[in-house]
Amino acid sequence: MINKCIIIMQSQSTYKVPNGKLLKIFLKYNENENLIDDLKITGDFFAYPEEAIELIEHKLKNAFLKKEILIEKIYSIIEKNHIEFIGLDAESLTKGILMCLK
Amino acid sequence: MKEQWRLLITENNSAYTNMAMDRAELVSVSEGKAPPTVRFFTWKPAAISIGYFQSLNEEVDLAACKNLGVDYVRRITGGGAVYHDKELTYSIVIPESHGQIPKNIMQSYGRICRAIIKGLNQLDIQSKYVPINDIIANGKKISGNAQTRKLKTVLQHGTILLDVDVEEMFSLLIVPNEKIRDKMISDVKQRVTSVKHILGKDIGFKNIADAMKIGFEEEFNIELNEGTFTEEEIELTNKFEREFFSTKEWNHKR
């Protein structure tokens, strides 16, 4: 029997959103499966309603760390929950998350 | 007769009380128990407020705050860390449905900032709104602003810098390293100004509050009448201070 060893990596990134604010991501991810384990989206941006950020963090748990998949997921959460970002957007959020992998 | 709004002037409150007052007003105005309300206030002790989405430990040097007797608090609005020392802070609370408030969030920032610009104009300071949330005079930032919308009500608060000590501010914030600290200090000195710097003299809170009162009255074509909190608002302020703004759960939540 082979025990599968799950390695959770921890990383962070800082990304200045073009024409926007400073995004700081704290990411824990499963390196074997390339999945988000835990995510904190912080920074000096604005989001309406504010509580939406916790929802996005929650919904992105176990998401596959791939650009197209993340963007689509984030867009879909934004649309479903009528979230409005100022100084941040779905592309930049995706970029900030993926920057943690480098 | 012009529409009558309420003006509250509350000097020298703690960071927790100030943030609790804004939230109490928000509840009260949302339930129609108070008219649109503008408040001018100051902070005692000096305090750092951070934006709702910021990480407290990543932004604020908590040990330095403790040493210098500076409070810190998480706001219910987004935006960045602000050191509240020598400034007038304002807040406006008004129903989203009010005809004077654009539905579009960015437009409403601009509209409310115009009241501040008109107030500064009373002091012969020319300024303009620069999106997303700044007001600049002589090409430098003199005011930062942040808005939230909850309970179908708009709350926007912001600062008008009366004087600024950039070194002190950076001694309270987390910076990547000492070399960058110096660079950040000189950058911010280039980018930030104050009423004192522009006018070349100190101007008291009362004078700036009078000027801002006129700014709001002109921009919104209303009359501001100095009033007081309702009993319910006082209770709500105590509750929000106790249950949110003074708690570790709230301030350290991110």
Domain encompassing residue B186: 3-251
- What CATH number does residue A63 fall under? 3.30.390.50
ipTM of the complex: 0.93
List residues bridging with A86 in a β-sheet: A46
Structural contact between residues B10 and B225, judged by C-beta atoms closer than 8 angstroms: no
Q: Do B148 and A26 touch (CB under 8 A)?
A: no
**Whole-number Å distance between alpha carbons of B19 and B113:** 20
Per-residue tokens: B190: 């280039």
Q: Give chain B's domain count.
A: 1
Residue A1 counted as domain residue: no
- A8-40: per-residue pLDDT in tens? 999 999 999 999 999 999 999 999 899 999 999
Is A97's pLDDT higher than 70?
Answer: yes
Of chain A residues 38-97, which have a CB less than 8 A from chain B? 40-50, 53, 84, 86-87
Q: How far apart are CA B93 and CA B156, in angstroms?
A: 7
DSSP label at residue B163: -
Reference B123, options B202, B5, B39; nearest CA is B202
pLDDT tens readout for residues B223-237: 999 999 999 999 999
**Residue closest to B51 by CA, chosen among B146, B121, B187:** B146
Residue B100 belongs to domain with CATH number: 3.30.930.10
Rg over alpha carbons for chain B, rounded to the nearest Å, is 17
Partners of residue B86 on adjacent β-strands:
none
Neighboring chain B residues of A53 at a CB cutoff of 8 Å = 53
Taking the Cβ of residue A21 and every Cβ of chain B, the question of whether any pair is shorter than 8 Å is answered with yes
* Residue A14 belongs to domain spanning: 8-99
Question: According to the model, what pLDDT value does residue B46 have?
Answer: 97
Residue A69 C-alpha, separation from nearest chain B C-alpha, in angstroms: 24
- Number of domains observed in the structure of chain A: 1
- Kindly state the tokens that stand for B98: 């009010």
Residues of A in contact with B106 (CB under 8 A): 86
What is the spatial distance between Cα B85 and Cα B171, in angstroms, rounded to a whole number?
A: 14
Contact B77, B53 (CB under 8 A): no
List residues of B whose CB lies inside 8 A of any A CB: 51-55, 58, 76-81, 105-106, 132-133, 146-150, 254
How far is the alpha carbon of A4 from chain B, nearest alpha carbon, in Å? 32
Name the strands in the sheet holding B71-74, side by side, starting at the edge strand that comes first in the sequence.
B71-74, B47-50, B82-84
**Spatial distance between the Cα atoms of A36 and B198, rounded to a whole number of angstroms:** 50
Percent of chain A with pLDDT over 70: 96
More confident residue, A69 or A2: A69
Contacts of A24 in chain B (CB under 8 A): 55, 58
For testing contact with chain A, the best of B53, B180, B184 (most A CBs within 10 A) = B53
Q: What is the pLDDT of residue B59?
A: 95
- pLDDT at A3 exceeding the cut of 80: no
Closest CA to B159 of B11, B40, B53: B40
pLDDT of A73 strictly over 80? yes
Write out residues in chain B with pLDDT < 50, as ranges: none
Is A35 among the domain residues? Answer: yes
